[in-house]
Each structure stands twice: as structure tokens, then as C-alpha cells.
């Protein structure tokens, strides 16, 4: 739809707005101004001008020269000066809204208008536009612009102040429309106006409009500056449009504008949130090579990206470089490192402790956020006493715990069943004036539910209601029931459902499904099946997901016939099975070695018109391979390739694993080699499976080469895989080869698992050789394996 022109936008408001003409200039304009002028100005500047005085004094000024007393009218320039000053005056005790008062005085001028006065100037119009902007009524300012057009004056660059009004009030679309219209009128804005519009459009993720503003600027001869380009690049990066962002960077350089650290920081962040950490590394290096010295913000952003993608060692290297060479780490740098170490999959609390000590050594005082990270790091690992010591240290250092701190502490205490201590902390929190939040109550109620204190949980829910805090909803209770049932604590899950009903909540399909999954997990299929009647009693019809849970339970408990009976009963009730349900029952049939029945079921699925998902194909392919029907599996695979079915790497993993299990090793290797031809990339599970099977068949060189390719592909060194390789090699007496992988574990500061340590200690102590471990944290080791003290052919 074409954008309306200003003349049509303004017409309604313009007809209802009238302005007083300015008093005509006269030879006596230079005469001394009347006393009312001085009084008005003095009271305005001192903040003592009240609306009543302003009206009386302004009326006196307007009467000059109009009553036949021979006095000269007050010059328009003087009146404009007073009104402009009034429009910009801050709120005071005498007058809380000076711009609104200025608008009222304009209207008084309008009522006193007479033919002998000269026409209003654009300066008067601009003052009024500014007043409307300041009282947050830019829509009325549009009427003034319309009047400018009507009188043939046309808006000038000052009229662009109206755009600021729209932007400030969040009406960016109107600001954008006005900007384009005024550009068409030939009124060119300054770069600040352009950047303000671009900034707001980028915040709203209106990147097409933001780029169109830049193009308008270029077409009109206004050169974008560094801030313009940085805004566009940042907006595109936040929208994950990294290709566009790179093109804008190229245009920026071609235009002779040099990117700064803020520009590069946007790119690093953009690639980080897009999961392209390799590109983040490239941009960071590119920044340095272009002579842009990385700022603390650049380094912090990069460290965050590295931690996010498991690159702990690289993050440490950047941080160490900051400490040694600069820029010096700030509080955000240390908190990023602390959080990264605390949440890393192979995390070590010794690293957290070391970073915190370094921070103190460098004279940086920890803030609330830093202490919260530390408390959570220890609390989440069950080290409650240590977490409590940190809380005490926090208070001793004069840092007041906030609601987040108490939520973290109370949650940790509830997880380990220390409910009395959690309630004590809750009461202490209230005593020191920290208002309890919904999150705190949720932690306490969940702790009570998980540890059987349902009476106390009910009391806490009542307390929430009395304090006008929304009580837990059905989703919250269902989550607790689901967690309990996954642990096999079904009876407790049932008690929570009863509590939920007592507090006025009605169980839904999700709640029943969680409870049903729990009964299936513990093998109590009778109770699981009985829940169908319980659902019907409160008017809930079981859907396909409920039937899928029951069918899966029967299959996993070896009751495939019951699963088939339930499946047929579901079809009889006209509940349409999904691809997920078919996958479950197909997997159950293959597991029960009922291959013929599985193939028949698969044909029925296709004939029913149900969409066959890639997961279902994976189940069928894996089932055929495990049941020695590899020829049929290969035929199906080739058929799917011919149909251009888009495979995922999980499907390849299923088929490759199944082929290894039935001894079709060469075909498994060929299928692995073919992965890249289908546009896929092996994941860590693929590599782990291949390396494991290569070691089993003693193809050590191939396994080593494949591991090297894992590292080259950008995958972070996987602690679990490395430990598994070490154990397999030690069991095959390949001590020298195992030592190579142990070195990789050490170099990457990864965790040496308990089972690996146990095997090493058992093997070497049995042979009388020395093995030394110096422990750094739970199962975190710096080890010295003296392989030079024994021959590598020890077990040969």
C-alpha cells in the first residue's frame, strides 16, 4: 500500500490548530522592553513563575501597542524568546509543566490576533513543534508541519525535532514516515537524526527499514558515519543475518570508514549466538590484524562465546593474555570466567576458586553477581557448607544478599533435603527486609514436595495466596510430578497430584502422562493402565501421546502382545496414531525379534498415509540390521537415497552402529565415508562409535587418524570419549597408545574419570610400577605417568 503524503496526514489536525501571528516589527522595536518582560524572564529563570502570573504578564505584553496608548508593541523576537525559554524550562514547584504552559500562551496570542500583525514566522512554528514534542504530543506537532506546508513555508531542518518526539514515545513507524516525507520535500536531516531513527528501527528488528534509511542517506549525499554502520551491523548480528552484516562491513571499509572495537564486538557476538564459534575466532583475529586493539568488552564477549561452545582452554588463553598483556580484566571478565568454569561440563571447582582468588589479588571487589555465581557453583554440587561460608564471606565484605542470592541458597538447601535450614534462611530473608518472590516460594514448595513435607507445602501455598502472590499453576506441579516419576518415585508423584487437587488445580493430560510414565518405568503396568479410567472420570479423553506412553511401557516391559492389543484398541476408538507411536511399536517388535510383524506394521503405516519421519526410517533400518536383514536394510537405504529423503546424522549413527553389531564392518565404514556426500557432518557420537569399533578390531592407526580429524573438524576434546579410549587401550595392553590419549586429557585440563583412575591404579600396581596422582578438586587430576620407567611392551 502506498505511503500517505504529509499533506493528507496533517489535514485533520491542521484545520483544528490556529496560531497567533507575530506582532509586526516597528521602528520602536529597539525601544526598552516593558517591565512585564523583565519580571516574566526573572521569575522564569528563578523557577518562581506560576501559571497565573505567566498569563497575566504575557497578556500585559500582548496589550502593548493595541490600546491606542501610543506604546510600541513588544517585538516578536522578544516574545518568541520568552516562549522558547518557557518551553525548555525544567519542572519547578511553581510550574510543573512549562511546555504545556507555553502552548497555552501561544493560544492566547492566537485569540488576540489582528490584521496589523505580521504573519507567523517559521521560528514561531518551530517553537510550538518543540513544545508539543516536550509534552509528548508529537501527533499535534504534525499539525504544525502541515500548517507550514499549507502556508508555503515548508519544514526546515529544525522540524526534524518532531522525529525525536516520535522516537522517544516509541512511535518509530511515524518517525520513519515523517523522515521519508521530509526527505522528499528536500529538507535534509543531519546525521544525528538519521542515526536516531536507525537505532530505534534496529531495536525493533525492522532491519529492512533501517537499511532503507541508510540508502536514502547515501542517495541524498549524506555519508553514513561509524555510528551508522555500527548500528546496522549490530542490528543484523542480533537478527543472526551474518552474511548481510559482513556485506555492510565491506561497504563500510570501501567507504573509507574504519571499523572500531564496537563494530567487531557486534560481529563476535552475532557469530556466537548463531553457533558459529569458528567465525567468532576469525573476527577476533581479523580485528587484531587490522590494528584495532581489542577492548575489555571484545575480550569478554569472545570469552563468553568460547565457554558457550565448550572451548574452555581457548577461553582461559584469552583471559591469561588479558592478565599479562592487557586490556586488564574487569569485573565482567572475572564473572564470565567464574560462570564459564562453574557451568562447564568438565568443570573443576579448583579453577573457580583460583579465578576468584586472582580477582581479589588484583584488587577487584566481588559484587553480588560474583558471589551468586560462587554460591550456585558449590550449592548445585551439593557442597552446601562451602556455599554457606561464601554467603557469610559475602556479608562480611559488605555485600548485601539480594533475592537472587536467597533463591540460590534456599534452592540448594532444598535439593539436599535440608528443609529446616531453607525455611530458616527464608525467615532471615524476610527479617532483613528482602521481600519473598514467587521464585523463592517455588523453591520451598518443590523442596517440601520432593521430601514428603506436603503439609508444609500446602501452608506455603496458602501464604502465597494471602500475600497476593500467584500460587503454583498446573504446569509447575506437573513438572514436579514428572521429575519424581522419572526417578521412579511414583507414589510420591501421586501424592503431589492429590495435593494439587486439594489446592484447586485440575490435572490435565500432561499430569496424567507423567504419572503414567512413572508407573511404566517401575513396571507397574496395571496402575498405568488404570489411569485411563481416572482420566475418563474427570472428562479427559486420552490422546495419542497417552497411548504412546502406555504402548512404550508395555514394549519396554517385554509385553509386546499387550502393546499390540492396546494399539488396535486405540485404532478402534478412532485415535489416529502418529509417526512417534508407530516408531515406538516398530522398535518394540524389532526388539522382540518379531521382524515379520514389524515389516507388516511398517507397510500398514505407509498405507495409512501417516508421514514417515526420518526417525521412523532410522528405527526400521536399525531394526533390520540388528535382525540380520542387512540386505533389506541396504535396499531401503538405497531407495531412500533415490527418493532424496533428507537424512540426519542420528539416522546414519543408528545404521552404522547396527552394521557393526552384526559384523558388517566394511559396509559400516563405507556408510561413514558417505556421510559428507549427503551434506552432513559427523557429530561426536559418530566419531565415538567409529573409534570404539576401530579399537575393538585393533585398527589403531585408523583410530588415531580419525581422532585427529575430530580435532580438526572443530569439535572440542570430549572428556568422555578420551576416557573411554584410554580404558579400551589399557584393557588391550596398549599402554604407550593409552599414554598419548592421557596426555591429551592433561593438556586440555579435562576430567580423568573415576573408572579410568581405578583401572590405571589396578594395572600399574599389579605390575609393581609407580603411578602418582596429585588431586585438584573432585576427580580432577594433574598426573605424572612415568612411562619411561617401564617398557612399552609390558603386556605383550
Out of 10-24, 163-177, 412-426, which region has the weakest mean confidence (pLDDT)?
A: 10-24
pTM greater than the 0.75 cutoff? no
How far is Cα of residue 681 from the mean position of the Cα atoms in its chain? Answer: 26
Residue 602 has pLDDT above 50, yes or no: yes
Highest mean pLDDT: which of 33-42, 435-444, 780-789? 435-444
Instruction: Give the closest residue to 238 by CA, choosing from 212, 213, 257, 210.
Output: 210
Report the interhelical angle of 331-343 vs 296-308 (nearest 10°). 10
b/e map of 326-350 (b: 16 or more CB within 10 Å)? ebebeebbbbbbbbbbbebebbbbe
Kindly state the average pLDDT of the residues 245-265.
91
Q: What is the pLDDT of residues 753-764, one digit of tens each?
A: 888 888 887 776
* DSSP conformational letter for 794: T
Q: Which residues contact 220 (CB under 8 A, 6 or more apart)?
A: 183, 188
Highest mean pLDDT: which of 52-56, 357-361, 663-667? 357-361
Query: CA-to-CA distance for 126 and 141, rounded, in angstroms?
Result: 9
User: How many C-beta atoms lie closer than 10 Å to residue 294's C-beta?
Assistant: 22
Classified as helix, coil or strand, 239 is coil
Q: Which helix (H) or strand (E) holds 772?
A: strand 771-775
* DSSP conformational letter for 136: T
Residue carrying the nine cell digits 497430584: 497
pLDDT at 273: 80
pLDDT at 44: 77
Query: CA-to-CA distance for 113 and 62, rounded, in angstroms?
Result: 10
* 706: exposed, middle or buried (Cβ count in 10 Å: 0-12, 13-18, 19+): middle
Residue 214 has pLDDT above 70, yes or no: yes
* DSSP conformational letter for 17: -
| Contact yes or no for 620/602 (Cβ under 8 A) | yes
Q: Which helix (H) or strand (E) holds 483?
A: helix 474-486
Query: CA-to-CA distance for 164 and 234, rounded, in angstroms?
Result: 21
Query: CA-to-CA distance for 530 and 445, rounded, in angstroms?
Result: 29
Handedness of CA 64, 66, 69, 75 (dihedral sign): positive
pLDDT at 636: 86
Instruction: Give the closest residue to 299 by CA, choosing from 275, 332, 273, 338.
Output: 332
663 Rama class: left (phi>0) / alpha (psi -120 to 50) / beta: left
Q: What is the pLDDT of residues 447-505, one digit of tens each?
A: 999 888 989 999 999 999 899 999 899 999 999 999 999 999 999 999 999 998 888 88
Query: CA-to-CA distance for 262 and 230, rounded, in angstroms?
Result: 7
Residue 424: pLDDT band with limits 50, 70, 90: very high
Kindly state the average pLDDT of the residues 210-238.
91
* DSSP conformational letter for 773: E
Residue 738 has pLDDT above 90, yes or no: no
Instruction: Give the closest residue to 67 by CA, choosing from 119, 114, 19.
Output: 114
pLDDT at 70: 57
Q: What are phi and psi of 782, to 5 degrees?
A: -110, 120
| Contact yes or no for 575/543 (Cβ under 8 A) | yes
Higher pLDDT, 381 or 150: 381
Q: What are phi and psi of 771, to 5 degrees?
A: -135, 125
Report the interhelical angle of 630-642 vs 649-661 (nearest 10°). 160
Residue 161: pLDDT band with limits 50, 70, 90: low
Residue 30: pLDDT band with limits 50, 70, 90: low
Set of cell numbers at residue 724: 573411554
Query: CA-to-CA distance for 260 and 231, rounded, in angstroms?
Result: 12
Residue 16 has pLDDT above 70, yes or no: no
Out of 57-61, 156-160, 705-709, 723-727, which region has the weakest mean confidence (pLDDT)?
A: 156-160
Highest mean pLDDT: which of 151-155, 615-619, 742-746? 615-619
Q: Got the DSSP string for 618-647? A: HHHHHHHHHTT-HHHHHHHHHHHHHTT---
Q: What is the CA radius of gyration of the chain?
A: 37
pLDDT at 720: 85
Q: Write a three-state SS string for 26-67.
A: CHHHHCCCCHHHHHHHHHHHHCCCCHHHHHHHHHHHHHCCCC
Residue carrying the nine cell digits 572495537: 261
User: How many C-beta atoms lie closer than 10 Å to residue 179's C-beta?
Assistant: 23
Q: What is the pLDDT of residues 51-85, one digit of tens each?
A: 887 788 777 777 775 555 556 776 767 777 777 77
pLDDT at 507: 92
Kindly state the average pLDDT of the residues 538-555.
93
Give the side-chain half-sphere CA count within 13 A for 442. Answer: 16
pLDDT at 744: 85
Higher pLDDT, 272 or 438: 438
| Contact yes or no for 719/347 (Cβ under 8 A) | no
Residue carrying the nine cell digits 578420551: 722
Q: What is the pLDDT of residues 669-709, one digit of tens each?
A: 888 888 887 778 888 888 888 998 989 888 888 888 888 88
pLDDT at 21: 42
Kindly state the average pLDDT of the residues 580-592.
94
Query: CA-to-CA distance for 530 and 553, rounded, in angstroms?
Result: 13
Residue 627 has pLDDT above 80, yes or no: yes
Which residues are registered as beta bridge partners of 784?
772
Query: CA-to-CA distance for 277 and 280, rounded, in angstroms?
Result: 5
Query: CA-to-CA distance for 782 and 513, rounded, in angstroms?
Result: 47
Query: CA-to-CA distance for 235 and 240, rounded, in angstroms?
Result: 9
Q: Helix-strand-coil percent breakdown of the chain, rounded to 5?
A: 70, 0, 30
| Contact yes or no for 612/619 (Cβ under 8 A) | no
- Percentage of the chain with pLDDT > 70? 81
Give the side-chain half-sphere CA count within 13 A for 333. Answer: 24
Set of cell numbers at residue 370: 560474583
Amino acid at each position: 500500500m502506498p505511503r500517505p503524503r504529509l499533506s493528507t496526514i496533517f489535514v485533520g489536525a491542521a484545520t483544528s490548530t490556529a496560531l497567533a501571528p507575530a506582532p509586526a516589527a516597528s521602528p520602536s522595536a529597539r525601544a526598552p522592553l516593558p517591565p512585564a518582560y523583565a519580571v516574566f524572564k526573572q521569575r522564569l529563570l528563578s523557577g518562581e513563575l506560576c501559571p497565573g502570573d505567566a498569563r497575566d504578564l504575557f497578556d500585559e505584553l500582548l496589550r502593548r501597542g493595541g490600546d491606542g496608548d501610543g506604546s510600541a508593541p513588544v517585538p516578536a523576537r522578544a516574545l518568541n524568546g520568552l516562549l522558547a525559554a518557557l518551553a525548555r524550562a525544567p519542572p519547578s514547584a511553581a510550574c510543573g509543566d512549562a511546555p504545556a504552559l507555553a502552548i497555552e500562551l501561544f493560544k492566547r496570542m492566537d485569540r488576540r490576533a489582528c490584521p496589523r500583525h505580521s504573519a507567523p514566522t517559521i521560528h514561531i512554528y518551530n517553537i510550538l513543534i518543540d513544545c508539543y514534542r516536550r509534552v509528548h504530543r508529537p501527533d499535534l506537532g504534525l499539525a504544525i508541519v502541515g500548517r507550514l506546508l499549507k502556508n508555503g513555508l515548508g519544514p526546515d531542518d529544525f522540524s526534524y525535532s518532531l522525529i525525536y518526539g516520535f522516537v522517544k514515545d516509541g512511535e518509530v513507524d511515524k518517525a520513519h514516515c515523517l523522515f521519508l516525507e521530509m526527505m522528499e520535500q528536500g529538507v535534509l536531516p543531519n546525521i544525528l537524526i538519521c542515526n536516531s531513527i536507525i537505532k530505534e528501527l534496529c531495536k525493533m528488528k525492522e532491519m529492512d527499514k533501517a537499511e532503507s534509511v541508510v540508502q536514502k542517506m547515501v542517495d541524498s549525499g549524506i555519508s553514513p558515519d561509524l555510528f551508522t554502520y555500527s548500528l546496522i551491523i549490530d542490528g543484523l548480528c542480533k537478527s543472526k543475518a551474518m552474511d548481510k552484516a559482513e556485506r555492510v562491513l565491506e561497504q563500510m571499509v570501501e567507504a573509507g570508514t574504519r571499523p572500531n572495537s564496537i563494530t567487531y564486538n557486534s560481529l563476535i557476538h552475532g557469530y556466537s549466538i548463531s553457533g558459529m564459534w569458528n567465525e567468532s575466532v576469525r573476527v577476533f583475529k581479523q580485528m587484531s590484524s587490522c590494528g584495532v586493539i581489542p577492548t575489555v568488552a571484545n575480550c569478554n564477549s569472545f570469552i563468553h562465546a568460547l565457554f558457550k561452545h565448550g572451548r574452555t582452554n581457548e577461553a582461559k588463553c584469552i583471559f591469561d593474555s588479558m592478565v599479562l598483556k592487557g586490556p586488564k580484566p574487569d569485573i565482567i571478565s572475572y564473572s564470565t570466567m567464574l560462570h564459564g568454569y562453574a557451568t562447564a561440563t568438565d568443570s573443576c571447582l579448583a579453577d573457580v576458586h583460583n579465578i576468584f582468588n586472582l580477582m581479589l589479588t588484583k584488587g577487584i571487589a566481588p559484587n553480588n553477581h560474583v558471589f551468586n555465581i560462587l554460591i550456585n557453583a558449590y550449592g548445585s554440587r551439593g557442597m552446601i557448607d562451602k556455599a554457606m561460608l561464601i554467603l557469610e564471606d559475602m556479608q562480611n565484605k559488605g555485600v548485601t544478599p539480594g533475592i537472587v542470592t536467597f533463591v540460590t541458597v534456599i534452592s540448594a538447601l532444598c535439593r539436599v533435603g535440608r528443609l529446616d535450614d531453607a525455611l530458616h534462611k527464608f525467615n532471615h530473608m524476610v527479617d532483613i527486609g528482602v521481600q519473598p518472590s514467587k521464585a523463592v516460594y517455588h523453591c520451598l514448595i518443590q523442596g517440601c514436595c520432593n521430601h514428603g513435607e506436603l503439609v508444609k507445602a500446602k501452608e506455603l501455598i496458602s501464604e502465597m495466596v494471602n500475600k497476593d502472590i500467584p500460587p503454583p499453576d498446573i504446569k509447575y506441579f506437573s513438572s514436579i510430578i514428572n521429575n519424581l516419576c522419572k526417578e521412579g518415585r511414583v507414589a510420591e508423584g501421586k501424592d503431589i497430584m492429590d495435593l494439587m487437587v486439594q489446592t484447586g488445580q485440575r490435572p490435565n493430560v500432561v499430569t496424567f502422562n507423567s504419572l503414567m510414565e512413572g508407573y511404566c518405568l517401575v513396571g507397574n503396568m496395571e496402575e498405568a493402565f488404570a489411569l485411563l479410567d481416572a482420566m475418563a472420570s474427570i472428562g479427559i479423553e486420552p490422546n495419542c501421546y497417552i497411548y504412546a506412553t502406555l504402548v512404550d511401557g508395555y514394549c519396554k516391559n517385554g509385553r509386546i502382545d499387550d502393546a499390540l492389543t492396546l494399539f488396535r484398541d486405540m485404532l478402534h476408538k478412532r485415535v489416529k496414531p502418529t509417526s512417534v507411536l508407530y516408531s515406538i511399536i516398530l522398535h518394540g517388535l524389532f526388539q522382540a525379534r518379531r521382524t515379520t510383524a514389524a515389516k507388516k506394521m511398517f507397510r500398514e503405516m505407509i498405507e495409512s498415509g501417516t508421514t514417515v519421519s526420518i526417525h521412523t526410517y532410522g528405527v526400521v533400518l536399525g531394526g533390520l540390521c540388528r535382525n540380520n536383514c542387512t540386505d533389506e536394510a541396504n535396499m531401503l537405504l538405497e531407495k531412500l537415497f533415490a527418493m532424496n529423503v533428507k537424512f540426519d546424522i542420528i539416522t546414519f549413527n543408528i545404521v552404522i552402529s547396527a552394521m557393526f553389531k552384526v559384523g558388517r564392518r566394511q559396509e559400516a565404514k563405507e556408510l561413514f565415508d558417505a556421510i559428507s556426500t549427503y551434506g552432513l557432518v559427523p557429530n561426536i557420537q559418530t566419531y565415538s562409535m567409529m573409534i570404539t569399533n576401530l579399537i575393538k578390531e585393533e585398527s589403531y592407526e585408523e583410530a588415531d587418524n580419525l581422532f585427529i580429524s575430530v580435532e580438526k573438524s572443530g569439535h572440542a576434546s570430549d572428556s568422555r570419549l578420551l576416557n573411554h579410549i584410554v580404558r579400551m587401550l589399557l584393557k588391550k595392553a596398549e599402554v604407550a597408545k593409552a599414554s598419548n590419549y592421557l596426555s591429551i586429557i592433561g593438556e586440555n585440563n579435562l576430567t580423568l574419570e573415576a573408572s579410568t583412575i581405578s583401572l590405571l591404579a589396578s594395572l600399574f600396581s599389579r605390575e609393581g610400577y609407580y603411578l602418582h596422582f596429585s588431586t585438584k578438586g573432585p576427580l580432577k587430576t594433574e598426573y605424572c605417568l612415568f612411562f619411561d620407567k617401564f617398557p612399552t611392551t609390558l603386556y605383550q
